[in-house]
Amino acid sequence: MSDLLSSPWHWFILIVSLVNIFACWWLLNWSAKTKVHSDDGTTGHVWDEDLQELNNPLPRWWLILFHLTIGFALLYLFLYPGLGNYKGSLNWTQESQLEEAMQASSVRSTELQEFWKSMDIETLATNATAMQTGERLYSHYCAMCHGADARGATGYPNLTDKVWLWGKDLKSIEHTIREGRQAAMPAWDSQLNEQELNSLAIYVQSLSNRAPESEITAQGEIQYKKYCIACHGVEGKGMQALGSPDLTNDIWLYGGDLDAISHSIKYGRNGVMPPQQGLMNEYEIKLLTAYIRSMQLEQE
Q: Is the dihedral of CA 80, 86, 90, 95 positive or negative?
A: positive
> What residue type is assigned to position 168 of the chain?
K
pLDDT tens, per residue, the chain with 300 residues:
555 556 778 888 889 999 999 999 998 888 777 665 666 667 777 888 878 877 777 788 888 999 999 999 999 999 999 888 888 899 888 889 999 999 998 888 888 878 888 889 999 999 998 999 999 999 999 999 999 999 999 999 999 888 899 998 999 999 999 999 998 899 999 999 999 999 999 999 999 888 787 889 999 999 999 999 999 999 999 999 899 999 999 889 999 999 999 999 999 999 999 999 989 988 899 999 999 999 888 776
pLDDT of residue 37: 60
- DSSP sequence for 92-131: --HHHHHHHHHHHHHHHHHHHHHHHHTS-HHHHTT-HHHH
Predicted TM-score of the model (pTM): 0.66
pLDDT tens-digit profile of 2-53? Answer: 555 567 788 888 899 999 999 999 988 887 776 656 666 677 778 888 788 7
Distance CA 103, CA 107 (A): 6
Helices vs strands, H then E, count in the chain: 12, 4
pLDDT of residue 3: 58
CB 279 within 8 A of CB 141: yes
pLDDT of residue 109: 82
CB 236 within 8 A of CB 247: yes
> What residue type is assigned to position 68 of the chain?
L
pLDDT of residue 27: 87
Distance CA 110, CA 271 (A): 36
pLDDT of residue 211: 76
Distance between start and end Cα atoms, the chain = 59
Distance CA 55, CA 117 (A): 75
**Angle in degrees, CA 69, 74, 78, rounded to 5:** 145
CB 82 within 8 A of CB 88: yes
- The alpha carbons of the chain give a radius of gyration, in whole angstroms, of 37
